[in-house]
């Protein structure tokens, strides 16, 4: 199984589209949501042991300053607990088998649905076929992310020296 079989985690690869080279695949979710998922998956794999912001940042390769803001959002949403002090750090507030990928994404950068005409056309009382189709696609994405738990991600095999299920730093292709 290759790293590209994990739809929620991007890996840096060279790919071509119309002769344009990109350093990574186009993101389906924001970078903030990606960072939050990395942190949550790492915490879930620690069996309740508190982890400092620096520990999480090192392992997940998220800038510590940015991670602080991400963890603050996750804490405000009730997904993680923060404990100050000598043996403090972050822990999950919800068991991994009950926590979905959608929960994490919605906590830090909610997916946006199309509720009314984005063009502001007053006569459009319902969505046009284009925007209805786009909104239906977002509904399918929400459903897929809501059906995937953090615990399910943890049963995936480990790659190289990276904590599971994060992609290894080493290129094993």
Residue 71: closest CA among 95, 55, 87, 85 = 55
CATH number at residue 81: 1.10.10.10
Write down the mean pLDDT value for the chain: 79
Evaluate whether residue 161 is within a structural domain. no
Q: Is 34 among the domain residues? A: yes
21: β partners = 16
- Give me the domain span that covers residue 131: 3-154
Structure tokens at 73: 């959002």
- Domains identified in the chain, total number: 1
Residue 165 forms part of a structural domain: no
DSSP assignments along the chain, one per residue: --GGG-TTS--EEEEEETTEEEEEPPPSS-HHHHHHHHHHHHHHTTTT--B-HHHHHHHHT--HHHHHHHHHHHHHTTSEEEE-STT-EEEESS-TTT-BHHHHHHHHSPPPP--S-TT--TT-SS--HHHHHHHHHHHHHHHHHHH-BHHHHHTSPP-TTSPTTSPPSS---
pLDDT bucket at 108, cuts 50 / 70 / 90 = very high
Tokens encoding 96: 């991994």
Q: Is residue 137 one of the residues assigned to a domain?
A: yes
Q: What is the pTM of this model?
A: 0.74
Residue 14 lies in a domain: yes
117-151 pLDDT, tens digit per residue, is 777 777 777 888 888 888 898 899 999 999 999 99
pLDDT at 3: 42
Q: pLDDT tens for residues 49-86?
A: 999 999 999 999 999 999 999 999 999 999 999 998 88
């Amino acid at each position: 199984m290759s790293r590209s079989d994990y739809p929620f985690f991007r890996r840096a690869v060279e790919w071509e589209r119309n002769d344009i080279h990109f350093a990574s695949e186009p993101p389906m979710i924001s970078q903030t949501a990606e960072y939050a998922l990395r942190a949550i998956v790492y915490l879930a794999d620690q069996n309740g042991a508190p982890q400092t912001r620096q520990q999480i940042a090192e392992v997940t390769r998220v800038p510590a300053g940015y991670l602080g803001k991400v963890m603050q959002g996750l804490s405000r949403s009730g997904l993680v607990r923060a404990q100050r002090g000598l043996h403090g750090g972050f822990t999950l507030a919800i068991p991994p088998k009950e926590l979905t990928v959608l929960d994490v994404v919605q906590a830090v950068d909610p997916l946006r649905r199309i509720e009314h005409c984005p063009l502001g056309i007053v006569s459009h009382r319902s969505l046009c076929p284009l925007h209805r189709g786009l909104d239906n696609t977002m509904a399918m994405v929400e459903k897929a992310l809501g059906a995937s738990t953090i615990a399910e991600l943890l049963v995936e095999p480990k790659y190289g020296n990276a904590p599971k299920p994060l992609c290894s730093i080493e290129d094993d292709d």
